[in-house]
Structure 1
Amino acid sequence: MIVWLNGTHGVGKTTTSALVQQMLPGSRVFDAEKVGETLMDIKPGLPATDNFQHWPPWRPLVVETARRVLDYAGGTLVMPMTVLVEQYWREISSGFAQHGVPVRHFVLHADQETLRGRIAGDAVVGPDSPFRLHYLESYAEAARAWLHAEAEVVDTSCLTPVEAARQIVLRVEGGDGVGQKAKST
């Protein structure tokens, strides 16, 4: 199974994914950004873009890498990755469906004020990361247009990362589908 943690940059996906992995037996974290980094290392480089997700190979490579890891190791992959383009999410989710890999798609959500505060106070990435701030409006638009309808939303505005992870694990282990949306194919 895939537990995909979506949401804008700075919402806490990386922190939450590590906690989910600790709480969910037999799980591993796979950051799909590493697939993008591999593509960015190709020399000479691929066509210029401001986001490796725009490269057509990224999406099927994420699916193929994740399914191969699951075939090899079993268990659950916790995948923290922002995907705000609906077509890209559809390609990824239908790729998993074609291989019979179930996906629980969660969106970590926080209001804009909370997000800006978290980004400004991030000691690891640094305050007011232009990259993270750049995606706040794109996230808000995706949330309104399609993203929240395609996932189980976990509002982290008033939750600690541990509390958010616990909510996700309870939903996954309980299989109750609270807030679960129809799988896109």
Structure 2
Amino acid sequence: MIVWINGTHGAGKTTTARLLQPLLPDARVLDPEKIGEVLMDVRPPLPDHGDFQHWAPWRPLVVETATRLLDHVGGTLVLPQTVLVEAYWREIADGFAARRVPVRHVVLDADQDTLRARIEGDTVVGYSLFRMSRLAPYAEAARTWLHDAAQVVSTVGRAPEEVAREIARSVAAG
């Protein structure tokens, strides 16, 4: 099974994935961003579209990599990755469905002020204009399709451990 943790920058995806992994039997974390980094290393470089998700190979490579890893180790893969383009999410979800891999799609949600404060105060990743630039597209995706396509979990005023436990309970409940 795949547990896809979606949400914008500052929502807590990476932290939640790290805390969720030991709560799920035989779970591992796979960061789809690493697949994007591989594509960024292609020489000469692929055309710059501002985000590796816009490169057509990224989405099927994520599905293929995750599926192959599940075939190899079994269990559950936790994938923390923002996907705000509905067509991209459909392509990924349909790819897993074609391979009969169940996906639990979870969106970590917080209001814009909370997200902005988290990004500005992030001492690990640090502030970036790119991260801030994703807030408006997240709000639009949440309003138009994303919240309808996933289990929405609020992270406002909640400890990351509590959020991870809620997701683990929902996965266990089916």
TM-score clears 0.5: yes
The structural deviation recorded for 1:139 is 0.1
What is the identity, as a one-letter code, of the residue corresponding to 2:90? R
What is the identity, as a one-letter code, of the residue corresponding to 2:89? W
Identity of aligned residues (%): 64
The structural deviation recorded for 1:117 is 1.3
> How many residue pairs end up in the alignment?
174
Matched, 1:163 2:132: no
The structural deviation recorded for 1:174 is 1.5
Distance (Å, rounded) in 1 between the aligned partners of 2:170 and 2:26: 16
Aligned structure 1 segments of 4 or more residues deviating by more than 4 angstroms: none
Distance (Å, rounded) in 2 between the aligned partners of 1:148 and 1:113: 19
Distance (Å, rounded) in 2 between the aligned partners of 1:125 and 1:17: 16
Normalised by the size of structure 1, how large is the TM-score? Answer: 0.93
2:35 maps to which residue? 35
Matched, 1:65 2:65: yes
Distance (Å, rounded) in 1 between the aligned partners of 2:113 and 2:52: 28
Considering only aligned residues, what root-mean-square deviation do their CA atoms show, in Å?
0.7
What is the identity, as a one-letter code, of the residue corresponding to 2:154? D
Deviations 1:96-136 (A, max 9, x none): 0000000000000001111111111110112x421111000
What is the identity, as a one-letter code, of the residue corresponding to 1:15? T
The structural deviation recorded for 1:27 is 0.1
Equivalent position SS for 2:122: coil
Of 147-156 and 115-124, deviating more is: 115-124
What is the identity, as a one-letter code, of the residue corresponding to 1:120? E
The structural deviation recorded for 1:49 is 1.3
Equivalent position SS for 1:11: coil
Distance (Å, rounded) in 2 between the aligned partners of 1:123 and 1:101: 36
Distance (Å, rounded) in 2 between the aligned partners of 1:20 and 1:94: 24
Q: Gaps (5+ residues) in structure 1?
A: 176-185
Deviations 1:54-94 (A, max 9, x none): 00000000000000000000000000000000000000000
Deviations 1:32-65 (A, max 9, x none): 0000000000001111210000000000000000
2:144 maps to which residue? 145
What is the identity, as a one-letter code, of the residue corresponding to 2:131? R
Normalised by the size of structure 2, how large is the TM-score? Answer: 0.98
Q: Gaps (5+ residues) in structure 2?
A: none
For 1:12-161, list aligned pairs within 5 A.
Answer: 12-126=12-126, 128-161=127-160
